[in-house]
Amino acid sequence: MKIKLSKSDIDGALVTQISKVSGEDFKQCYQCGNCSGGCPVSYAMDIPPSQIIRFLQLGRFELVMEANSMWVCVGCLQCYSRCPKGVSAANILEAARQLSLRKGTDHERIEDLPVSFLKTAPQQAIVCGFRKFVS
């Protein structure tokens, strides 16, 4: 007998996967907002770090994966340093990014980068960019 999983079952399983990859327990977050308040790039995120965690608590995997937050995060760990519950939004966004790239879809296509940019950008920036945005 084939078991048909509902969308919420699948989203729940994917949320569990983010928890496993990140090593973070979303339930610990009590939504104080300190992480978002200290994040230097939350202004550019579709969904700030604290709300990313709230959506994961609610099982809304697809909203997290559609938002640009995981790509905008610079990994500065300010969120983690300010969290009174020891939850790392940085780890969670990194896990979401890993899961996205593991599907084999590049966030940035190398062939789309202008030659002028490749000629002038520091090599380290280009390599870091490839590691972050290319599967």
Q: Cα(135)–Cα(132) distance, rounded to whole angstroms? A: 8
Nearer to ligand SF4, 1 or 45 (CB): 45
Min dist CB 39 to ligand SF4, Å, is 3
Min dist CB 118 to ligand SF4, Å, is 26
Computed on alpha carbons and rounded to an integer, the radius of gyration of the chain in Å comes to 16
- Angle formed by the axes of helices 49-57 and 89-101, nearest 10°: 70
| Nearest to 85, CA basis, from 128, 25, 125 | 25
Residues counted in the chain: 135
Min dist CB 44 to ligand SF4, Å, is 10
Nearer to ligand SF4, 14 or 22 (CB): 22
Give residues in contact with ligand SF4 (CB under 6 A): 29-35, 38-41, 49-50, 53, 73-79, 82-85, 87, 89-90, 93
Nearer to ligand SF4, 14 or 52 (CB): 52
DSSP 3-state assignment of 102?
coil
